[in-house]
Every structure is written in structure tokens, then in C-alpha cells.
Amino acid sequence: MEMMVLLGDFTVRTVALGAALVGAVAGVLGSFAVLRQQSLLGDTLSHAALPGVCLGFLLAGSRQLAPILAGALVSGALAALLVLLLTRTTRVKTDAALGVSLSLFFAFGTVLLTYVQRHQGAAQAGLDAFLFGQAAALVPADLRLIGSVGAASLLLVALGWKELKVTTFDADFSRSLGRPVVAIEFALTVLIAVAVVIGLQLVGVILMVALVIAPAAAARQWAKRLEGMVLLSALFGAVSGVAGALLSASVRGLATGPVIVLVASGFVAVSLLLAPGRGIAWQLVQAVAERRSLRAHRVLLGLYQLAQDHGDPRYPSEQGMLDTYYRGGSASALGRLQRRGLVERVEHMPEEGDHWVLTEAGQQQARDLLEPFGSRDGADRTGAGT
Amino acid sequence: MGEEVERALSTAQGVHEPSLALHVEDLTASYASGAVLWDVDMNVPPGVLAAIVGPNGAGKSTLLKCVIGALRPAAGHVYVFGRPYRQQRHRVAYVPQRTSVDWDFPTTALDVVTMGLYGRLGWLRRPGKREDDEAHEALAMVGMDAFAERQISQLSGGQQQRVFLARALVQDADLYLMDEPFAGVDATTERAIVDLFKDLRRRGKTVVAVHHDLQTVATYFDWLALLNVRLIAQGPVREVYTAEHLRAAYGPRVVLLEQTAEA
């Protein structure tokens, strides 16, 4: 209810709209970052934006978003270039190169930031808002800038959709089709940098990577196709952005960035837990069900074997003996089999406890289970994912 | 004399050995660690099932990557049906090693096969009903149509390989370049690939496949190139698959293989 009242407020509406846009763009491009295993590149890009933010401010002489974002984009790109240079020309591995580049640029940015605040006055600059993000600082002009840049990058993704998809999935195959893979990968990196940069004012350089990665990581759990993943990721990102912006606007003293990221992380937690097929809870349920049915099948085959050995398809087996053989627990397995009509209890020497026989269906089921597995496809398990 | 003039003329026009499906000339390629391919000359006539065989690190995959332009050779040229690969892309289908991609990628078998049509579609056109039908047809040819909507992570290794083959089939190429199509597949898939090969040969297509299993080379293929950084030998399998050549490619210790070869 309070949210509805908040949305009536013009400033808050501006902020919410901006946050939704930033979240959606981050969600879309974050999907590609996650699938290309470039999450850490996002981290480097966002931390490395800080010196650019300060330089943009110094060059413009006042706090205007356009030069600040341009500066952020350039310094992010330089950091990415440094990573490329380090990995190509030295024996430094990618993760170390990312770390080196991130710390170098962030340290430089911090030095610049403290300098600017000393000499230009912290209040006037308000640049420290770029560390953790500040929703309230967003004005309609900023929204227009973020909106047009964000929309342009989404349009580019839509236009190059097939090429982005095939290059991300199988770069060599994409090359064989004659696609300029290096150029496509470069464009994708720039677009990811753009997604990072337009969110800096709201989320801040330290946590912006989370808004790029978290919605995509969450969406990854639910989606069967890239189309679905990207749309869902955009939705998660937008909702995180709006929820975070509104929360921080309604509670005095809450930094926007961390709140947005907390909401996004909530999506990740829920997805990791509950997503069908991939979620932890789902897999637990599957594992328990699998174990139960395996146990039931073993009891079924035991009964079948005993019947075979005694040359009597309806040989009554004693439950106590089955319990000993299967170390207890045959009662629940027998119960399951009985419910499925595969076994039935018979009156046979009641003084020695319950006795069970296989029904017609049970005998058939046992024969099916004993069929050699090799006759069906699936003998190859080498590459089978679960 | 006349032949020489003709040859010089056709070279000037950019046409080179048009009677060969694949013609590799003086190809040398290297990574930072050193040369992987040294001065390789290779010819594959059209309509054969050709295997590229050699020990690990012999440059087999590298050679295919040089052909499709994924790797720039240090020296040498590649011609496909007489012209550079750039001009012949639409006549070539490339099947990378199955393990070279992330099979956990969010996509279905049908999606992957449809990617084979991206070259024909160009940059902006989207796949439609016609492309869907073609992809289904290709999946059916490798016995995978029932799995069209399956996410690729849910497929077995052999099924994944068949999806890759379907993607190549949908390209309707004249030359199929395959990197280890038989690696780590089940018996069903192995049979499916062999049948597919025969079908392709009957339709006059050419297959060039990197292969690792010396036991099956002579049964699955009819043309053989033995490679170990340098080209050791090439030609019809019956002529090339000899103890002497195998020793030259694998070193003196291929005792068991010699017997197989001589048997």
C-alpha cells in the first residue's frame, strides 16, 4: 500500500523507472556475461569505472551524468584492454589479470575521489554516491540519458540476436559460418560495460556487478532456452531495481545499491533452491524418490528370485526373512509395491508373520526389470549430464 | 605445355585445383609452444570419406581450424573446391569437437540444429517455419527427432554428438569437416554416424574427419591422411594403412597396430 503512495510521487516514479531500466538492461547483458563465464570481467568493469567517473567530473567541471558515464565507459574499456594485454602477452592467467586490473583502476579511482572531495568540496561533487549508489540523486534528465542508452543497447542485442547466440554457444562454429567472432565478442564486452555504466549512479561501482550477474544466475536456473533466460533475467533485474529503489527512497539512510543487490540475491537464493530440475530442493526430492523406488524394486526382484528358486510363481515369502535380508525397511517397500498392485499379502502360516506373493503384474514388472539394459539407448554415460 | 598454361590461367583467376574437394598447400601453423603443422600438403578428392589420423598433438584439429579460418596459419593456403574458404563457406559444414562447447547452455536440440541455417539466413532474418521443418528433418535423419525440444544438457554424449551432426546436415554442404565425431559415443551413435557417412558418400558428398581409432579407420573410411605435424602419407586407405606408414606416424612401438595393419 505504501508503495502505491510512493509511486504517486514524481521523484520516486522517476527513480523507479530508472531502476527498472537499469535492472532490465543489466539482466539482458548479464545473461551473456554469465554464459560466457565473464562474471569477473563485469566486476573489473564496474570497479574500474571509478577513475573515469572522477575524471569525467573534473573535465566537465560539474556533476553532469553524460561526461561522467562517458568517463566510466572509457576507463572500464581501458581496464578490459589491460586484462586482454596481460593474458595475451604474459603468462598471467585471466583471473589474476582481472584482479590486477581491478585493483589498479579502483585504487587510482579512490585516490582521485578523495582528491576531488578535498579540493572541490564533497557536498558539491557528491561523487561518493557513485560508490554505493544513491536513488534520490536521479533527475529526469539522467533518466532520459539512461533510458536512451539502455534502449539502444537492447536494440543492438535484438538485432544481433542470432549472432550473439551462436557465437556465445559455439565460437568456432560461428567462425566457420564466416561471422566476425572477435568483433562480436568485442561488441558484447562493450555492451556489458554499457550495462554496468548506466547503473553506476543507482547501484554504485562496488556492487553494480551483482545486478549484472545475479538476475542472470537466477534466470539460468529456470530457463530451458536462451530467449527465456534473457527475458526472465530482465524481469528479475527490473523487479530488483524497482524494489530496491523504492525501499531506499522510503526509508531514510538506506543506500540504494546494496538494497537492490539484496533483492537480486534473494532471487538467486530462491532459484537455486526451488527451480525445477536444477534447484537443490528439487534434486533432494528426486534423490529420495529414486532411492525409494530402487529399494522397492530390489524387494520385488527378491520375491521374484525366491519364486523362481522354488519353482512356484506365487511362492509366499515371509516378511521377517525379507527384513533380515534387506536389513529392515522392507515393510515400507512392500507397502509401496502393494499400492501399485504388484504384491499381495496372503494367509500362509500366520504364526510366522506376514507372507507376500507377487501378483501377475508384479511378475511382469520383475521380468521387465531383468531385461538387459544394453538393448536400450543410454548405455553411454560418459557425457550424460544430470 | 597446354596444361601448364591452363593451370597458370586458373590460378590467376583465383581458382586452384578445382577438381579437389580440399586442397591444402604448404600449410604451416604454430602456437606459442612451437609448430603444430609443418609444410603440410594435403589433397582430398570429392566423394570420399577421408580420415585424418595421427597421434595426440599431431595437429589434426589445428588443420581443420585452419581450413575454416578459425586459426590463421603462419604460411600456406587452403582451397575448397578450387577456391578460398571465404568464397565456399556455403558448401562447407564444420562439426567441432563435442567437448568444445558448454552443453549446459540453455538451448534445445532443435535450437542447436537451427544454428546450422544461420549462415543462409544472414544477419537479420529470423528462422521461421521452413527452418523449423528442415531442422526437424535433420534431427530425424540421425534418429533424434523425439528429442527436439529436449534441453541439450539432458542428452547423453552420443545424443549430443548426433545433434551436432544434424546441425551439419541441415547446412546441406558438399564438404563436411568433422573433428573427432566418434569420440566418446555409444554404440547406437557410432552406427548412426557410419550409416550417415555411407548416405553422404552415396549422395556424392565429401567427408573429412579427424579420427583417433586405428582399429576402425579401414572399415569406416576409404581415404586416409596420416599426420604427425608433417604429412606422413595420404591416399586410399588400402594403400596408406601400412605398418611402415603407421610406424612413421606413431613411432616404432606400434607393434599391435602393425599386426592389425598387415592382417
The CA distance from A386 to B157, in Å, is 12
The CA distance from A257 to A126, in Å, is 15
Long-range CB pairs of A329-336, under 8 A, 24+ apart, other chains included: A329/A295, A330/A299, A332/A292, A332/A295, A333/A292, A333/A295, A333/A296, A333/A298, A333/A299, A334/A299, A336/A292, A336/A293, A336/A296
Place of cell 533432494: A284
Cross-chain residue pair A35–B102, CB shorter than 8 Å: yes
| Residues contacting residue A277 through CB under 8 Å, at least 6 positions apart | none
CATH architecture of B17-262: 3-Layer(aba) Sandwich (3.40)
Average pLDDT of span A280-295: 83
pLDDT digits (tens, 9 = 90+) for A89-141: 888 888 899 999 999 999 999 999 888 888 766 555 578 788 888 887 788 88
Q: Are A75 and A104 in contact (CB under 8 A)?
A: no
The CA distance from A218 to A31, in Å, is 10
Q: Are B179 and B64 in contact (CB under 8 A)?
A: yes
Q: What percent of chain B has pLDDT over 90?
A: 58
Q: Is the pLDDT of residue B237 over 70?
A: yes
pLDDT digits (tens, 9 = 90+) for B186-234: 888 999 999 999 999 999 999 999 998 888 998 999 999 999 888 888 9
Whole-number pLDDT of residue A378: 39
Q: Which of B29, B25, B37, B39 lies closest to B82, judged by CA?
A: B25
Average pLDDT of span A337-345: 86
Q: Is B8 on the interface with A (CB under 8 A)?
A: no
**List of domains in chain A:** 2-275 (1.10.3470.10), 281-370 (1.10.10.10)
Whole-number pLDDT of residue A277: 76
**Per-position b or e across A316-330, b if 16+ CB within 10 A of its CB:** bbbbeebeeeeeeeb
Q: Is B98 on the interface with A (CB under 8 A)?
A: yes
Residue A43 has a CB neighbour count (10 Å cut-off) of 23
Cross-chain residue pair B106–A225, CB shorter than 8 Å: yes
User: Quick one: closest CA in A to B119, which residue?
Assistant: A177
pLDDT digits (tens, 9 = 90+) for B141-173: 999 999 999 999 999 999 999 999 999 999 999
Q: What percent of chain A has pLDDT over 90?
A: 45
ipTM of the complex: 0.89
Question: Which of A87, A90, A176, A226 best tests the B interface by mutation, with the highest count of B CBs <10 A?
Answer: A176
Residue B117 sits at the vertex; the CA angle it makes with B51 and B156, to the nearest 5 degrees, is: 60
Nearest-CA distance B53 → chain A (Å): 21
Cross-chain residue pair A172–B94, CB shorter than 8 Å: yes
Q: Is the pLDDT of residue B260 over 60?
A: no
Cross-chain residue pair A169–B101, CB shorter than 8 Å: yes
Q: Is B106 on the interface with A (CB under 8 A)?
A: yes
Out of A159, A175, A177, closest to residue B124 by CB: A159
The pLDDT-based confidence of A256 (bands split at 50, 70, 90) is: confident
Whole-number pLDDT of residue B8: 57
Mean pLDDT of chain A: 85
Cross-chain residue pair A383–B112, CB shorter than 8 Å: no
User: What amino acid is encoded at A267 in this protein?
Assistant: F
Q: Is the pLDDT of residue A18 over 70?
A: yes
Q: Which of A232, A242, A157, A148 lies closest to A198, judged by CA?
A: A148
Whole-number pLDDT of residue B1: 47
Whole-number pLDDT of residue A155: 95
